[in-house]
Structure 1
Amino acid sequence: MKTSDFYYDLPEELIAQDPLEDRSSSRLLVLNKKTGETEHHVFKDIINYLNPGDCLVINDTKVIPARLIGERVGTGAKIEVLLLKRRENDTWETLVKPGRKMKVGSKVSFGDGLLIGEVVDVVEEGNRLIRFHYEGIFEEILDQLGQMPLPPYITHQLKERNRYNTVYATHEGSAAAPTAGLHFTPQLLEEIQNKGIEIARVTLHVGLGTFRPVKVEEVTEHHMHSEFYQIDEEAAKKINHAKENGGRVICVGTTSCRTIESAADENGRLKACSGWTEIFIYPGYQFKILDCLITNFHLPESTLIMLVSALAGRDHVLAAYEEAVREKYRFFSFGDAMFIE
């Protein structure tokens, strides 16, 4: 299986640069995973595809303002630091640009010294471990100095920071948003619950590894970076109950999917747990729990388009993507949505 098998041609003007004013007014392409048939709707119509007894699984992670712009102490050179993972207390694994000269012992000043970062180690793929020094509360300083870490294909400035978070974002720790969830409004979620659909909250802190390009020719040689996930007793119970009683488990986004598939036992059951996952889902994978998926449109040759191809078949997915291009759907993080049923 080649990475190039998952390529499609996307005109640049279809990459969404700004979120819509009304989250739930995005377009929705519905794909039947068995037949490949498609339908076109508005996102709020998703409620018509959810049945009483189904369980909707959402990822309640919250993106932190993880992008910091500072100056290298001693030279004044501009340095960009992206927080990836908190290792312990005030030490973070980071992506530093430009990183070549940022050796162990180098320091960066942010906000005229309000926050000082010191490189304490160089780890996998050149990422830097940085220990931060400050007075006060780190999260408050980060909120003051940090920017939302928007993907590189979004060139516009984000007017409202909360638009790169879901309305149910709770647990801070992500470097990127679980973007399929951006389409939900509190009103739509309330309507879904009133219809008799359970909503199960899980947490997976999204790292940049999810979006890193696949650089190997053979898909199976790609290595996913690890991401932290957590499933509590209540969520496990709701998901198990749906499966046991003939309901469907419908994940909102690839991150929710990867969370429950990582945690499932061989019988497709969940229990409360937490840990790190490096699960890589591509065609040939047998899903243990997931039945349907709400997702955005993903980059060509990405691990995410491979995941949706594992669910609906590569040919069906690529045909649906070509149709979405023809119909001028909006693509990627702030783009339109797809429901694979």
Structure 2
Amino acid sequence: MILVTGGAGFIGANFVIDWLARNDEPVVNLDKLTYAGNYATLRPLDGDPRHHFVQADIGDRATLDAVLHQHCPRAVLHFAAESHVDRSIDRPDDFVATNVVGTATLLEAVRAYWIALPVAQRDAFRFLHVSTDEVYGTLAPHDPAFTETTPHAPNSPYAASKAGSDHLVRAWHHTFGLPTLTTNCSNNYGPHQFPEKLIPLMIQRALHGEALPVYGDGLNVRDWLYVGDHCDAIRTVLERGTPGETYNVGGRNEHTNVDVVNRICALLDTLRPRASGSYREQIAYVTDRKGHDRRYAVDATKLERELGWQPKETFDTGLARTVKWYVDNEAWVDAILSGAYRQAYFSNELERA
């Protein structure tokens, strides 16, 4: 049994679905179901006895204690986080509450559970913290990519809150001996991503005939990682990672934002042609985001060399799969835009904490 926090979010839900498709080990899936938590993504698991869903906040210590002692997981995988930079600029307190205070509460609950385990189970237990490359700050055009020893230098409230959670996880390992693992990933994309993020936002706006807003000059660079490859990396780190270590996960796919938008338009021109012209005609440059980091790039050599992980998708193949998924699943996006997705969980007879 493993416990996943944030398993109704984009990366967490993809991980849970992929995990259960590959093996029979049950998953306890704990998610608060904030606006970004979408139970509809987990619909394929309805009725699957291996998937046990609990609606709860990682800041709720009593519920965490009860879940841990009831289900006795061999590992906790911590995906739960507020993650949208724009929202962190508007409401930084929410990010501190979830990403810093929530992580501290979870760590203390897990530490109390772990200490009480029999020796053999205590030695085998793992706490895997899923983090981001944004904690490292920004890079100049020709700087080397982030490595695991790059100092944390966050520039947004989101990045700062995730950096805080990274430091807490490190401290709980070095002070208390909790067997932790940390992964810092580059920009994820793929199916089931909430349409506030760049790729799904551009797809749905294009299909609705709306402007495609590109911040500033559009030349901010990100390293893109297909979510399925990220899930594979997390499984690899959980299975073979060394406690106390950090592993960077990147796709080695650096592209400017405007290049990504142009690639999306080209794919849509083929999959869902406009009546006339190209979707590129909808691109509109807008005022840049406050504190917008110029470039991220992730060096995943350590993960590749020590644990044998390699991404399977190129950006061309992953983006093509992603755009086709959104074109074929407009109802999923429409339910988010209408707000109907918020009712997906409450229409089921599931455990509520």
| Same fold, judged at TM 0.5 (above) | no
Q: Give the number of the structure whose residues are more often helix, by fraction.
A: 2
TM-score (norm: length of structure 2): 0.26
TM-score (norm: length of structure 1): 0.27
Q: Give the number of the structure whose residues are more often strand, by fraction.
A: 1
